[in-house]
Amino acid sequence: MKKTDFENLVIWKEKLRKYPIILKDLEKELYVLEPKSKKYKEIETKIKEHKQTFIVIEKKILKYEAKFFDIERGLYKGVAIDVQDKKKKKIPLYLKLSNLSNHVGYTGTTRVGKTKNMINDARQLAKAGWDVIIVDPKGGEDQEILNETVEASFQANRAEDFRYISPAFSDESEQMNLLFGMGDEEIASLIKNFAESVSGDGFFSEVVFQNTQAAVKGLSFVELATDPFGEYTQYLEEQELKRYLNLKMTKGLLHDVEINRWNKTKTPDDLFLLMQDENKNYKFLDSDIEIEFYQNRSMVTLKTLSKFVSFESLDNLRTLIKDSIPVPSIEIVGERKYNDIIRLKNEALLSLDLVLSEDNSILMKEEDRQKTKERLKENFVKISKSHSVLLSQLTFGDIGKVFSNVGINPLANRLLSEENGLIAVMQPFPMKYKTISNMSVMAILKSIESMMGLVGSSGRANKRRLAIMIDEAGSIMYNQIEDLFNKAGGLGVSMFVYTQSYEDYALKLGETCANVIRDNINTPIVMRMNHSKSAKEAAESVGTTLIYKNKFMAGSDTNVISSADRYSIDSVREAIATFEEINSLPIGMGFIRHDMKTYLVDFTYVPSLKNYPIEMPVLDTEKKVRHIAKYEDEILKSIAEVQNISLGVKVA
C-alpha cells in the first residue's frame, strides 16, 4: 500500500534521528585509529557515505515536511505524540493561532534548538502576514538570525517589510524617535524606568519622572496654544518624513531591498524631487503672534528632552508659558478646544512649579518664589546632572543616531500601515553596550506597547497581529517587561520568548515578576535541561495530572480484617513529563503544553541556509583590533627572521 506523506515524513525523521549518532560513533572510532591504516581508510569512506546519505535524508524531510505547513490549521511544530494517548499515535502538531495570544515560552539548555525553533516560528508567521519583531541579543559571527529573517521575508514575498535595528551598526540601522506618538505621562514613565533600571534609586527616578513630565507637559501646551489645529505640526512631521526617506535613500546595504522596490516605479531622481521641501509657506493662525518656534512637542526626541532637564530650561519654559504665550481666543478655536488649552496650561504650570519649588508655588508670591529659587537650584543641579547623563547615554554617538536623529517613528508607520508590514531584527548587543542595550530594548518595546494601546483603546485594532520574538530572553529582561506580557495579548501582540530556564527571568526581575511572565505563558515549550531544579520546574510547566492511589488504614492493631478498617482514595499531582525525561531529550525535541494537552514533539526540521548573503561591515573598533593583531604577527615574524638569521637558518 502506498504510504501517506505523513508516514513518509515519520520514516525519514526517524532516519535523521539515527544518522548523527552513527556519524558521531564513526568519528570517535576514527579518532583512536592510526591514520593511513586500512581500518582508518575504511571508516573514512563510511563517513563520506554517511554524509551523502544525510543529503538524501534532508532532501526527503524537506519535501514531505513542506506539505504540512498550513497556517489555516495553525503554527506547524513537527511530528508529535500526545503523551497521555495510550496508543502513542503520531500526529502533525499545530498550535492554534488563537491560543498564541497568551504567549509562547521556550526553555532549554544551550545547543538544543531554541533558535532553530524561533526561525521556524518567524518564517511561518511572516508567511501568515503577521508583523514580526525579532530581538537577537547574540548577533553571532555568522549573523544566522539576520540572514534567516531576510530570507524569511523574501520567502513570504515581503522583502520590503524588512528592517534592521542596531546601535552597533548605526549606519545600517533603521532610525526612529521612540517618543513619537507617546503621551506626556508615558514619556515621563519611560524615562523614569530608564532611571530606575540604571540607578535602582527610587527617589532619583521619581524626580526624573517629575522633571520629564514638567518638560513634556510644558511643550504640549506651547504646541497646542500656538498651533491649536495641528496644521503646522502636521506640516513639520511631513517634512520630517521626507527628510528621513531622503536620508535612507542615500544608504546602501540592508535598505537596498526597499529602495529596489521603489525603483520599479520611480527613478532615484524622481524620488529625490518628491522628497524636496515643498516650501510651503505656513501662516500661524494669528499672524500677530511672533514666537520663535520653540520645540515641537510631537517630535521631541530623547536628545531634545535631555536639554530640558536643567533648572534654567525648565524655569524659562515656565516663564514662557506664564507670560509670553497667549491662549487663542474662544471665537477662533471653539469652546472645547479652548477649555483643553486652559486645562493644559494649568497642568503644565502645576508640574513645572512642582519641580521648581518646594511647595505648590501657584499659591506662592513671586518674591517668595525668587528667594527659595537659589536654594532649590543647588539641589536641582545635582539631580539634573545625573538626569541628563542618563539621557545622554541614549542620545550620544551610535545610539543617538538610531534614537534621536529623526523626529518621527518609521517603525510605528509600518505597524500601523494598512498596506505595508514589518519584519524587523533588533540587535541590542548586551555584551558590548550593557546598560544601553537594556534601555533600548525597553524603549522599543514600550513604544510598541504605547502605540498598540493607542490603537486598541480607539477600538480600531490593527489588522495584523504582531509577534515579538526574543531570543536569549534572559539576557535582556528589564523591569516591567511583565506588564507587556500582561497586556500584549489584548493589544494584538504575541510574545515568543526563548531562554535557558525560567530562573533567568527570576534572576533579573525577581520571583514575583518572573511568575507574572510564567503565568502569562500558556504555551510552554520545554527542551533538554540539565539542572534538576529547572528541569523539575519545567516538567511542571508542561502539565500535571492527578494520580489516584488507594490507601488502606487499619482500624485495629490485629492482622484480622475488621469493620473498622478503611480504604480511602488519595490523589496527588504529578508532572506528566518527568524531569528525567526532560533531562535526556535529544536535540530538536521537546515537550509542548497546548490546549490542555501535553505533546512530545520532534520539531520541524530547519536546514541551515546554503550561504549567508548579509555580512555586516567591519566596525572601527574591530578594525583597530584586527590591525594591531596583524601588526603583532608582522613584528613576531620579523623577530623570528632576525633570530633565524643569527642562528644561520635560511628563511624561505
Ligand X SMILES: Nc1ncnc2c1ncn2[C@@H]1O[C@H](COP(=O)(O)OP(=O)(O)OP(=O)(O)O)[C@@H](O)[C@H]1O
Near ligand X in 70-109, by CB under 6 A: 108
| Closest approach of Mg ion to the CB of residue 118, in Å | 8
| Closest approach of ligand X to the CB of residue 597, in Å | 21
Question: How far is Cα 93 from Cα 106, in angstroms, rounded to an integer?
Answer: 16
Nearer to Mg ion by Cβ, of 114 and 594: the residue is: 114
Near ligand X in 357-386, by CB under 6 A: none
603 belongs to the binding site for ligand X (CB under 6 A): yes
Q: Which stretch binds Mg ion (CB under 5 A): 95-103, 108-116, 208-216, 545-553?
A: 108-116
Nearer to Mg ion by Cβ, of 110 and 559: the residue is: 110
Q: Which residues is 599 bridged to in the sheet?
A: 82, 592
501 belongs to the binding site for Mg ion (CB under 5 A): no
Q: Which helix (H) or strand (E) holds 566?
A: strand 566-575
| Number of residues counted as binding ligand X (CB under 6 A) | 14
Q: Which of 110, 287, 550, 559 binds ligand X (CB under 6 A)?
A: 110
Nearer to ligand X by Cβ, of 149 and 450: the residue is: 149
112: partner contacted, choices ligand X, Mg ion, none (Cβ within 5-8 A by kind)? ligand X
Question: How far is Cα 138 from Cα 473, in angstroms, rounded to an integer?
Answer: 10
508: partner contacted, choices Mg ion, ligand X, none (Cβ within 5-8 A by kind)? none
Nearer to Mg ion by Cβ, of 119 and 257: the residue is: 119
Residue found under cell 578594525: 623
| Closest approach of ligand X to the CB of residue 142, in Å | 10
| Closest approach of ligand X to the CB of residue 23, in Å | 12
CA–CA–CA angle 464, 182, 200 (5° rounding): 110
Exposed e or buried b for every residue in 183-203, given b needs 16+ CB within 10 A?
ebebbbbbbbbbbbbbeeeee
606 belongs to the binding site for ligand X (CB under 6 A): yes
Question: How far is Cα 402 from Cα 298, in angstroms, rounded to an integer?
Answer: 18
Quick note: the x/- pattern for ligand X over 201-240, rule CB under 6 A, is ----------------------------------------
Q: Residue 377 has which C-alpha cell? A: 537650584
Q: Which of 180, 244, 478, 605 binds ligand X (CB under 6 A)?
A: 605
Task: Using only the alpha carbons of the chain, give its radius of gyration.
Answer: 31
Residues contacting 307, CB < 8 A, separation 6+: 313
Of 219, 223, 218, 195, which is closest to residue 207 (Cα–Cα)? Answer: 195
610 belongs to the binding site for ligand X (CB under 6 A): no
2: partner contacted, choices ligand X, Mg ion, none (Cβ within 5-8 A by kind)? none
351 belongs to the binding site for Mg ion (CB under 5 A): no
Residues contacting 534, CB < 8 A, separation 6+: 107, 500, 501, 502, 503
Nearer to ligand X by Cβ, of 108 and 407: the residue is: 108
Q: Residue 637 has which C-alpha cell? A: 615574524
149 belongs to the binding site for Mg ion (CB under 5 A): no
Nearer to Mg ion by Cβ, of 152 and 491: the residue is: 152
610: partner contacted, choices ligand X, Mg ion, none (Cβ within 5-8 A by kind)? none
Near Mg ion in 392-421, by CB under 5 A: none
Near ligand X in 562-601, by CB under 6 A: 587-588
Question: How far is Cα 319 from Cα 432, in angstroms, rounded to an integer?
Answer: 43
Q: Which of 107, 115, 361, 598 binds Mg ion (CB under 5 A)?
A: 115
Q: Which residues is 597 bridged to in the sheet?
A: 594
DSSP string, 457-512: HTT---SS-EEEEETTGGGG--TTHHHHHHHHGGGTEEEEEEES-HHHHHHHH-HH
113 belongs to the binding site for ligand X (CB under 6 A): yes
CA–CA–CA angle 214, 215, 219 (5° rounding): 115
Q: Which stretch binds ligand X (CB under 6 A): 21-29, 92-100, 110-118, 352-360?
A: 110-118
The answer to whether the beta carbons of residues 484 and 133 sit under 8 Å apart is no
| Number of residues counted as binding Mg ion (CB under 5 A) | 2
Q: Which of 13, 90, 103, 116 binds ligand X (CB under 6 A)?
A: 116
Q: Which stretch binds Mg ion (CB under 5 A): 1-9, 44-52, 114-122, 513-521?
A: 114-122
The answer to whether the beta carbons of residues 574 and 545 sit under 8 Å apart is yes
Nearer to Mg ion by Cβ, of 140 and 453: the residue is: 140
Nearer to ligand X by Cβ, of 504 and 537: the residue is: 504
| Closest approach of ligand X to the CB of residue 609, in Å | 12
| Closest approach of Mg ion to the CB of residue 132, in Å | 17
Nearer to Mg ion by Cβ, of 196 and 472: the residue is: 472
Phi, psi torsion values for 165, nearest 5 degrees: -130, 120
Question: How far is Cα 402 from Cα 394, in angstroms, rounded to an integer?
Answer: 9
Nearer to ligand X by Cβ, of 135 and 302: the residue is: 135
Q: Which residues is 497 bridged to in the sheet?
A: 105, 470
Question: How far is Cα 251 from Cα 343, in angstroms, rounded to an integer?
Answer: 45
137 belongs to the binding site for ligand X (CB under 6 A): no
Of 462, 439, 503, which is closest to residue 196 (Cα–Cα)? Answer: 439
Question: How far is Cα 77 from Cα 57, in angstroms, rounded to an integer?
Answer: 19
Q: Which stretch binds ligand X (CB under 6 A): 114-122, 123-131, 285-293, 324-332?
A: 114-122
Question: How far is Cα 205 from Cα 383, in angstroms, rounded to an integer?
Answer: 10
Nearer to ligand X by Cβ, of 328 and 590: the residue is: 590
| Closest approach of Mg ion to the CB of residue 43, in Å | 32
Q: Which helix (H) or strand (E) holds 78?
A: strand 75-82
Question: How far is Cα 605 from Cα 74, in angstroms, rounded to an integer?
Answer: 17
587: partner contacted, choices Mg ion, ligand X, none (Cβ within 5-8 A by kind)? ligand X
111 belongs to the binding site for ligand X (CB under 6 A): yes
Nearer to Mg ion by Cβ, of 121 and 240: the residue is: 121
Q: In the complex, which residues of this chain contact ligand X (CB under 6 A)?
A: 108, 110-116, 587-588, 603-606
Q: In the complex, which residues of this chain contact Mg ion (CB under 5 A)?
A: 114-115
